[in-house]
């Protein structure tokens, strides 16, 4: 089994502001603006229409008419669904090429992360909590149950027909591929009592990648099992030993600025336990 740390949602180039961590612990990942998408007004969130939160936090730069790319598509309640809907992720181009070279397939688990900052309501509008740091945080997961190669002539199930990688299959990019979620999460042969995909609903520091007190959100504190070992598997794009250090007994990583998909083999019982507990605790 592999895990894929998958960068998604608003960044400094697409969207321009962090996605919010809400006061009730909900993690609201804003899908990036894109012509391959739908109006933000069409997407619901745990606090109602997503566009109202995004408009406040972006000071109107993002609004109800902004087209966004709802991908990964993890929440059944985010939009009207056809019967049989399942969570899914689309990927194209160099990022999909990397997933293919890393042999990402059925049973592997995507852990989605992005740029976040705590937010609150103040005098009737949303704002970022004054003084709260910007961080990289995990916000959801998807265990692959099926891989579908798409092109303009692909026949896909009816429930997938509004997915942006299906609607725009003719021009979205090379290597267009969908990763469809498993029905249940299964790790090392054992079922975890959660579905095969979803967004985390209870934020805690256990989801935070950014090391506490780090000078930049791109310095991550990693679980012990991910520390690189001579001759062992390495997180893709991060094999350079100079990117790794040890602080207070835990591995720290200076993550790369570019790249969407970082893949690592889960090669230990500690890794399987970490993944199971992470998802079960925050789902």
pLDDT in tens, 202-248: 899 999 999 999 999 999 999 999 999 888 899 999 999 999 999 99
Q: Is 146's pLDDT higher than 80?
A: yes
**How high is the mean pLDDT of the chain?**
94
156 pLDDT band, cuts 50/70/90, is confident
Mean pLDDT of 110-119: 98
Report the 10 Å Cβ neighbour count for 104.
Answer: 23
Residue 53 DSSP class: H
Q: What is the pTM of this model?
A: 0.96
> Cα(115)–Cα(66) distance, rounded to whole angstroms?
19
> Cα(189)–Cα(276) distance, rounded to whole angstroms?
12
Q: Is 151's pLDDT higher than 80?
A: no
What are the tens digits of pLDDT across the range 250-281? Answer: 999 999 988 999 999 999 999 999 999 999 99
What are the tens digits of pLDDT across the range 159-207? Answer: 999 999 999 998 999 999 999 999 999 999 988 989 999 999 989 999 9
Length of the chain: 283
Q: Is 119's pLDDT higher than 70?
A: yes
Contact 133, 211 (CB under 8 A): no
Look at residue 198 in the predicted model and tell me its pLDDT.
96
Mean pLDDT of 128-147: 97
Number of alpha helices (DSSP H) and beta strands (DSSP E) in the chain: 4, 18
């Amino acid at each position: 089994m592999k895990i894929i740390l998958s960068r998604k949602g608003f960044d400094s180039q697409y969207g321009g502001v962090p996605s919010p961590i809400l006061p009730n612990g909900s993690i609201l990942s804003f899908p990036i603006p894109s012509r391959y998408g739908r109006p933000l007004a069409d997407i619901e969130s745990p606090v109602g229409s997503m566009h109202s939160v995004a408009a406040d936090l972006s000071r109107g730069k993002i609004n109800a008419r902004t087209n966004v790319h709802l991908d990964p598509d993890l929440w059944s309640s985010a939009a009207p669904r056809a019967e049989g809907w399942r969570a899914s992720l689309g990927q194209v181009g160099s990022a999909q090429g990397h997933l293919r070279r890393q042999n990402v397939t059925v049973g592997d688990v995507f852990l989605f992360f992005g740029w976040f900052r705590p937010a609150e309501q103040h005098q009737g509008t949303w704002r970022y909590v004054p003084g709260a740091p910007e961080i990289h945080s995990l916000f959801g997961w998807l265990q692959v149950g099926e891989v579908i190669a798409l092109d303009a002539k692909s026949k896909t199930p009816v429930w997938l027909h509004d997915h942006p990688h299906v609607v725009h299959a003719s021009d979205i990019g090379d290597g267009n591929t969908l990763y469809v979620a498993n029905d249940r999460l299964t790790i090392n042969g054992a079922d975890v009592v959660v579905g095969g995909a979803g967004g985390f609903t209870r934020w805690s520091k256990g989801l935070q990648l950014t090391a506490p007190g780090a000078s930049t959100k791109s310095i991550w504190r990693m679980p012990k099992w991910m520390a690189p070992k001579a001759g062992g598997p390495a997180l893709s794009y991060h094999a350079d030993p100079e990117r790794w250090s040890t602080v207070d007994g835990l591995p720290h990583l200076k993550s790369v600025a570019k790249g969407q998909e970082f893949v690592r083999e889960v090669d230990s019982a500690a890794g399987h336990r970490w993944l199971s507990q992470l998802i079960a605790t925050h789902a």
